[in-house]
Amino acid sequence: MQGILETLRGGVGLILGLILLLLLIATFISELVPKLRGRAGSPELISRVRAWWVMAGLFVLAVLVGKRVGIAFIMFLSYLALKEYLSLIPQRSADRKVLLWAYLAIPLQYLWVFTGRYGMFIIIVPVYLFLLLPFRLMLTGITQNFLRASSTLHWGLMMTVFCLGHLAYLLVLPPLHPAGGVGLLLYVVLVTQFNDVAQYVSGKSFGKHKIVPQVSPGKTWEGFIGGLICTAVLAVVIAPVITPLSVWEALILGVLLPAVGFIGDVTMSAVKRDLGVKDASSMIPGHGGILDRVDSLMFTAPVFFHFIYYFVYGPYR
């Protein structure tokens, strides 16, 4: 209980209030407005918003209980995302057991998060597993499609374990603001998810000029720019409440995070298109799978992390 009260200090409570407000507005639009007009609401939108309540609730609860629970929650997210990825990609039957080695990346990565060893955390997947997994694949003795097997495996690990792992490492950074690591984590998650919604809404309202029609026909310049402006405002307004960012830093991130989030979104669309699926799974009603929900976060998390690690924490390390 004391732990929860402690994390609520330093503006975190205020941001949770903001999240609650956003969810209430979304529910008002999806369920109450159609009812007041005497019409049935869009079931797609209703299930989407309801899933937001569940996702936001679980996330906030996990983050508030304590650092360890928060890290464990993100670790579980990595596991679900990796499992979803490995279930989608074509594999070689001979490599079936090598997949267990790939799962080994999760405890290894998060061990260094729990113990706060930045030097290992940043190296274990991109270097050690990058070298180890092809070695293990080689031991199966099958060279046909060897390169495909090793690169798809490593690409998935980078996305689901290395990139998402940065969210967890925010929690163990030494606090420069009373909101501490929880504040940083809430910031990047809220800004990224808000941008997804803002891009979607402004794309639906004003969208005309498609950006990458072959990959993601729903993405338009109007949606991208509208989302970026809304998100930048949010990013600058909430930065002083829960982060040590200066106004300039917040402004840069307010432009950088929506742009990077967009790239993550369309990159995962390209992957899904390659695999011939629309959604990675049907786990979250209205949203698809875990990968569909965290696609932009997988890109914004490491970029945000390195931005603050380089400019805010380190004297330009």
Partner 1 sequence: MPDSDSAGPHPWLRPLFFAAVIRPALLLGFGLGVRHRERLPQTGPAIVVANHNSHLDTLLLLSLFRLGALRTVRPAAAADYFGKSGAVRWVTQNLIGAILIERHAEGGRRTDPLAPLSAALLRGEIVLLFPEGTRGKPEVREAFKTGLAHLSRRHPDVPVIPVALRGLGHALPKGEWIPVPLNLYAAIGEAVESDPKNKQAFTQAVEAAIDALDAELPTAVWD
In this structure, how many other beta carbons lie within 10 angstroms of the beta carbon of residue 90? 9
Residue 79 or residue 169: which is nearer to partner 1 going by CB?
A: 79
Tokens 């209703």, residue located: 46
Q: Are 65 and 182 in contact (CB under 8 A)?
A: no
Q: CB 75 → partner 1: shortest distance, Å?
A: 13
Residue 89 or residue 256: which is nearer to partner 1 going by CB?
A: 89
Task: Read off the tokens for 218.
Answer: 């729903």
Beta bridge mates, 288 = 284
Q: CB 234 → partner 1: shortest distance, Å?
A: 33
Q: CB 100 → partner 1: shortest distance, Å?
A: 6
Task: Read off the tokens for 58.
Answer: 């679980």
3-class SS string, 49-91: HHHHHHHHHHHHHHHHHCHHHHHHHHHHHHHHHHHHHHHHCCC
- Residues with Cβ within 8 Å of 104's Cβ and at least 6 positions away in sequence, in order, are 129
Residue 36 or residue 100: which is nearer to partner 1 going by CB?
A: 100
Residue 79 or residue 194: which is nearer to partner 1 going by CB?
A: 79
Closest CA to 268 of 202, 211, 215, 197: 215
C-alpha distances in Å from residue 201, one per residue of 108, 290, 292 = 39, 21, 17
- Per-residue DSSP letter, 30: I
- What is the largest distance, in Å, between two alpha-carbon atoms of the chain? 66
Residue 32 or residue 138: which is nearer to partner 1 going by CB?
A: 138
Residue 84 or residue 196: which is nearer to partner 1 going by CB?
A: 84
Q: CB 267 → partner 1: shortest distance, Å?
A: 19
Determine the 3-state secondary structure of 259 from DSSP. helix
Q: CB 241 → partner 1: shortest distance, Å?
A: 36
Q: CB 86 → partner 1: shortest distance, Å?
A: 6
Q: CB 24 → partner 1: shortest distance, Å?
A: 31
C-alpha distances in Å from residue 260, one per residue of 12, 56, 81, 298 = 25, 22, 19, 10
| Count of residues in the chain | 317
Residue 99 or residue 111: which is nearer to partner 1 going by CB?
A: 99
Residue 239 or residue 268: which is nearer to partner 1 going by CB?
A: 268
State the residues that interact with partner 1 by CB under 8 A.
79-80, 83-84, 86-93, 96-97, 99-100, 103, 145, 275, 277, 281-283
Q: CB 80 → partner 1: shortest distance, Å?
A: 7
DSSP string computed for 101-119 = HHHTHHHHHHHHHHTT-HH
